[in-house]
Structure 1
Amino acid sequence: MDEIPVAQRKVNTTPQNKPFPFSIFLALGSAIITMSLFWLFSQTQSSQSQQQDTPSVTASETVSDNIPTTENNPPSSDTVEIPENILGHLGYEQAPMSELKPITADGRIKLRTKAAEKFLEMQSDARREGITLVAISGFRTIDDQEYLFFNIKEQRKQETSKRAEVSAPPGYSEHHTGYAVDIGDGNAPATNLNTNFEQTAAFRWLEANAAKYSFELSFPEDNLQGISYEPWHWRFVGDTHSLETFYKARELKTNLQPQM
C-alpha cells in the first residue's frame, strides 16, 4: 500500500530581526538634540549681533522726531517785557557827591570823576580844532529835578505827559547819575538846548568824535523811549558802572509804554 504523502510545508528560513540596541538609539537622540541646540544658539547670536549693529528706535524717539522740542524751537511770544518807567523815562539813582568832579571854572557843573576827565579831554581837543564845547548842565540832584519838572510845568501850564517829552520826573533823569551832560556851542549860544544845535559845528564835531571819548547821544530822533530829540544831551559810557547804569536804555527792543 502506497504511503500517504506527507504535506510539505515551506519552512521560512529568513533569520528573525534582532531588537535595535537601546544604547545606539540613545546616542542618536543625544546627537540630534545637541545639533538642534547648537543651531538655535548660532541663530540667537546672529540675531543679537544684528540688533547691536542696527540701533533700535523706541516709541519715545519716534514721537520726539515728530514733535518739535522747545529747545530747538522756542515758543514765540508776542509780549515783550517793558522796563519800569514813568512816561518813557527810566529810573536812576543819584550819584554820591563825593564821586563828582567840576568841569567848569566856577565849579558849578560837575560829573562823575571818570566822565569829567573824559569831557575835559574832549573839550580840549575840540578847542584845538576851533570848536568850543560848552557844558550847560551836568549832575542834578533829585531836588533840582523836582523844580525843573513840576515848577516849570506849572509856569508853562503844560500837561504832565507833554512836560515829560522834554524833561524827566525827579528820580528818572540821566543827570542824577553824574554821567550825563548837556553841551552847547560857544560860538552859537542861541542854539543852546534846542534842536537847532544839530546845525552847529559843535554838534557835527561831536557826531564825528564823541565816541572816541566814550560819549553817546542819549535821545536821538525816533528813540524807543519816546523822548523828544535832544541833540545837546550826551551820556558817558566809558566804564563798567556807566554801562550797567544805562543798560536798560541801551538794550530797548520796543517802544516804552507810558506807566503811572
Structure 2
Amino acid sequence: MSLLVSADIPSSRWRRCRWAIAALAIGLTTLVFPRPLGAAVAEPNAWISEPIIGPWAPPPALDEPVSRWQEPVPAGVDSLSFPHFTGPEFNELFTTAELPNLSSISAPPTITDSAEMDEQVRAEAVERGYQRRALPADYALMRLIDDGLALQRPAAVAWLALEQDAAEHGFELELKSAYRGHRYQREVFLRPFEVPYEFDDLAERLKMSAPPGYSKHHTGYAIDIGQVGHAHFGSSPAHEWISADNFAIAKKHGWIPSYPPDGGRQGPVPEPWEFTYVGVEAILCFHQPPAGDDPLCTASAAARGLRHVGE
C-alpha cells in the first residue's frame, strides 16, 4: 500500500484494610454522584500520598508542563505476592484498569491532509490491534519528571520508585519517553519519512509506531525506558532484572509490559522498553471475582460497581 501525504500535517496483603476502607468510601461517593460513561475516574485510594505542586496550563503550542515534584515510596511493597499474566492478560489489564484523570475519547485526530488516507491508516491500525486511547482530563494534575517528560501523578511516583529500586540493584535507568499528545505522536509516526511523505508499506510502519490517537503514551501512564550504556534495552541486564518471574519487579511498582512478547494482536511488535502503569491494586485484583475472600478486591469492585475481568 502506498500513501502520499503533504507536509502539513500484606504481611502479604500490606495495609489492605486501609485500602478497603478508602475504596468503600469512594464507592459511596460514586453511588451518590454517578459519573457519565467515559468520564474520568476519581483517583482511587492513594497507597501513595503526594502533595499537589505547581499546577500548570500547557501553552497552546506545547505538550510540556512546567513544574517538578518527587515523593518517597511507601514501605511494604516487597512483601506482596503477585499473580502471573499471559501477554493478552497484560494488555487487557491496562485497557480495563480504572485509571484516574483520563478524558472521554473524542473524534480521532488528523494524521495527513486527506480524510480518506486517514481512514485507511486507522483501519489498518485497528486490524493490527491498536486501540483508541484517552488523553489526560486535567493537565494540572500532571507532573514533570526527567528532562521535561510528563506523567500522571501515580505513574510519576511509580517511575521514581522503579528508578530508585534499579539504582539500588546496580542499574541506571533512564526515562526516554512519557506523555505524548496527539500532535507529537503525529510527528513520531511520520518521522522516518521526507516530504512528500510516502508509505511504501504502511504495515511496516505500524509495526513500529502508533498513529496519533492510538498511542498508550497519550494517557500519561506509559513510559519508554533504557539502561544507561546499553543501546538495546531488551538485551540489557536491567531488562533481565525487571522482567524476571513474569515482570515481578515491574509489578511491585505498579508497572506492566506495554507490548509483551506473547501479546498477540496488540498493535506494534513487542517493545521491551515500553511499560504502562496500572497500579499495585489492579495487578493484585485482576483475577479476583468481586465476591471473593480478598477484602481489598471485594471492596474495590463494589466501589467501582464493576465486575473484574478475570472472573
TM-score, structure 2 normalization: 0.45
Partner of 2:173: 133
Instruction: List per-residue Cα deviations over 1:118-148 (Å, max 9, x = no partner).
Output: 1101101210111111100000000001111
Unaligned runs of 5+ in 1: 1-82, 192-196, 244-250, 253-260
1:102 lines up with 2:144 in the alignment: yes
1:143 lines up with 2:183 in the alignment: yes
Name the CA distance, whole Å, in 1 between partners of 2:267 and 2:179: 23
Whether the aligned pair in 2 keeps the contact of 1:153 and 1:159 (CA below 8 Å) is no
Partner of 1:228: 269
Name the CA distance, whole Å, in 2 between partners of 1:177 and 1:126: 24
Whether the aligned pair in 2 keeps the contact of 1:100 and 1:113 (CA below 8 Å) is yes
Instruction: List per-residue Cα deviations over 1:9-32 (Å, max 9, x = no partner).
Output: xxxxxxxxxxxxxxxxxxxxxxxx
Partner of 1:172: helix, strand, or coil?
Answer: coil
1:164 lines up with 2:206 in the alignment: yes
Instruction: List per-residue Cα deviations over 1:162-219 (Å, max 9, x = no partner).
Output: 111110010000000000000100131x22xxxxx22211101211411100101011
**158 and 126 in structure 1: CA distance in 2 versus 1, 3 angstrom threshold:** farther
1:92 lines up with 2:133 in the alignment: yes
Whether the aligned pair in 1 keeps the contact of 2:252 and 2:280 (CA below 8 Å) is no
**115 and 147 in structure 1: CA distance in 2 versus 1, 3 angstrom threshold:** same
Partner of 2:192: helix, strand, or coil?
Answer: helix
Partner of 1:204: 240
Partner of 1:213: 253
Q: AA paired with 1:113?
A: R
Name the CA distance, whole Å, in 2 between partners of 1:178 and 1:240: 19
Instruction: List per-residue Cα deviations over 1:32-58 (Å, max 9, x = no partner).
Output: xxxxxxxxxxxxxxxxxxxxxxxxxxx
Q: AA paired with 1:236?
A: Y
Q: AA paired with 2:277?
A: F
Q: AA paired with 2:272?
A: P
State the percentage of identical aligned residues: 32
Whether the aligned pair in 2 keeps the contact of 1:93 and 1:177 (CA below 8 Å) is yes
- With 158-167 and 227-236 compared, the bigger mean Cα shift is at 158-167
Partner of 2:224: helix, strand, or coil?
Answer: strand
Name the CA distance, whole Å, in 2 between partners of 1:147 and 1:125: 33
**127 and 221 in structure 1: CA distance in 2 versus 1, 3 angstrom threshold:** same
Name the CA distance, whole Å, in 2 between partners of 1:205 and 1:240: 22
1:237 lines up with 2:278 in the alignment: yes
Runs of 4+ in 1 over 3 A off after TM superposition: 153-158, 239-243
Q: AA paired with 1:204?
A: E
**176 and 201 in structure 1: CA distance in 2 versus 1, 3 angstrom threshold:** same
| Bigger Rg, structure 1 or 2 | 1
Name the CA distance, whole Å, in 2 between partners of 1:125 and 1:168: 30
Partner of 1:187: helix, strand, or coil?
Answer: coil
Tell me the number of residue pairs that the alignment of Structure 1 and Structure 2 aligns: 156
TM-score, structure 1 normalization: 0.54
**94 and 152 in structure 1: CA distance in 2 versus 1, 3 angstrom threshold:** farther
Partner of 2:157: 117
**235 and 187 in structure 1: CA distance in 2 versus 1, 3 angstrom threshold:** same
**158 and 94 in structure 1: CA distance in 2 versus 1, 3 angstrom threshold:** farther
Q: AA paired with 2:211?
A: P
Instruction: List per-residue Cα deviations over 1:74-95 (Å, max 9, x = no partner).
Output: xxxxxxxxx9962421001111
Whether the aligned pair in 2 keeps the contact of 1:149 and 1:170 (CA below 8 Å) is yes
1:173 lines up with 2:215 in the alignment: yes
